[in-house]
Structure 1
Amino acid sequence: MDLHTSLLFAGASVALYLVPGPDMLFLFGRTMAHGRRAGTWAAIGINLGSYVHLCAAVTGLSALVLTSATAFAVVKYVGAAYLLFLGWQAFRSKAGFAVSTGRPAATTAQHLWQGFLNDVLNPKVALFYLALLPQFINAGDPHSVRHLLLLGLIASAIGLVMSLGYVGLAEKVTRAVYRRPAAVKWVNRTMGMLFVGLGLRLATQKL
């Protein structure tokens, strides 16, 4: 695998990470509700979750899930239920935003674990690895596993950098909203509706 292929893959990964999805929304919600530190740990959790999908894709477990209607349905509905739960939490939240100076309402481990679950329970991430990685591996490559792992590490590194960028952006948005307390409940409701919408879409969508 040459440098040109690696750079092309990196560009494709950046483009795909720019598409809004559950992970991006989760990072915005976590940062706006609990501050930059919480968002950062959530981003690390999401990044760790990506390695689960990478290992599954390389070993063929993701392909097994995606070709088994029962196994895929379990992953899909559990993920949808988790998104709906996050939406319900946002709806019932009445507290103001805790900007980076505030104390997170949850522990570091909880933010990390929730970010991890948010990524692992998203079957679209499995599709990302299954659909994109093989496009950059030559047929008959004797080192295909090594190259797949390398591409996966590149994608995960890019994802972590972009996730931290989303956290920084969310903190700036939070500071702007923080000056208008009346806007807090509307932001909470908007985040709640987005999570619920993503959960319902995941539950009803056929991939």
Structure 2
Amino acid sequence: MEFLLTTLVMTVTPGTGVLYTVSAGLSRGPRASVVAAIGCTLGIVPHVLAAITGLAALLHTSALAFQTLKYLGVAYLLLMAWKTLRDRSALTAEQDAAPRSSARVIVDAVLLNLLNPKLTLFFFAFLPQFVPDDHPHAVLRMLELSGCFMLLTFVVFAAYGRFAAAMRDHVIARPAVVTWLRRVFAGAFAALGAKLALS
């Protein structure tokens, strides 16, 4: 129960994944929001594997490895901010606009999580707290806990996205709101990038 409550707090707290899923729901509807939630969830897998296999220890001890991954993440967040600001097809009232492919949405979502070194370090510090040192199947236990984390992540992100999609018709009918939202999302991606750079 303690693990589930901690995980719920972690997933409900808005971050890059929530922002991306909400953006997908508002701009492209309910299906895109669920696809984005799937992509963000899949983006957790490399971090889980890194933590379990000990690669997180390398990131923790090698400043160069950590800084390289961190600044790749910063660059990608800034790219997402620029793309969001420039993307005039998103958040449009034209129902016949060509949608982005599910693969593209998933790739962007996976990259957002993949290029966040703090997520690897989070799992490195988080998982062992819930696995006793003398547990006979520690790796299986960590995989089980990681699976629970991913499932809850998907459910929470999909809920955020579906809510955003439900508000879509109210939003896209107002051009001023659309412009404001585009700027807010772009600014949020840029702010997250700056926060990562300065951390």
1:44 to 34, 38, 41: 38
Q: Distance in 2 between matches of 1:172 and 1:123?
A: 33
Q: Which residue of 2 aligns with 1:123?
A: 117
Match runs of 1:152-171 below 5 Å: 152-171=146-165
Match runs of 1:34-113 below 5 Å: 34-95=28-89, 97-98=91-92, 105-113=99-107
Structure 2 alignment gaps of length 5 or more: none
Give, as a single letter, the amino acid of the residue that structure 1 aligns with 2:71. Y
Identity %: 34
Q: Distance in 2 between matches of 1:96 and 1:141?
A: 49
Question: What CA RMSD, in Å, does the superposition of the two structures yield over aligned residues?
Answer: 1.8
2:108 to 114, 133, 137: 114
Post-superposition offset of 1:102: 5.3
Q: 1:102 to 1:34 in 2, by over 3 A?
A: farther
Cα offsets for 1:96-145 (capped at 9, x unmatched) = 6257x655532111011111111111122212211211111112222111
Q: How many residues align?
A: 199
Give, as a single letter, the amino acid of the residue that structure 2 aligns with 1:50. I
Structure 1 alignment gaps of length 5 or more: 1-6
1:185 to 167, 179, 183: 179
Ranges of 4+ aligned residues in structure 1 off by more than 6 Å: none
TM-score of the superposed pair, with normalisation by structure 2: 0.92
TM-score of the superposed pair, with normalisation by structure 1: 0.89
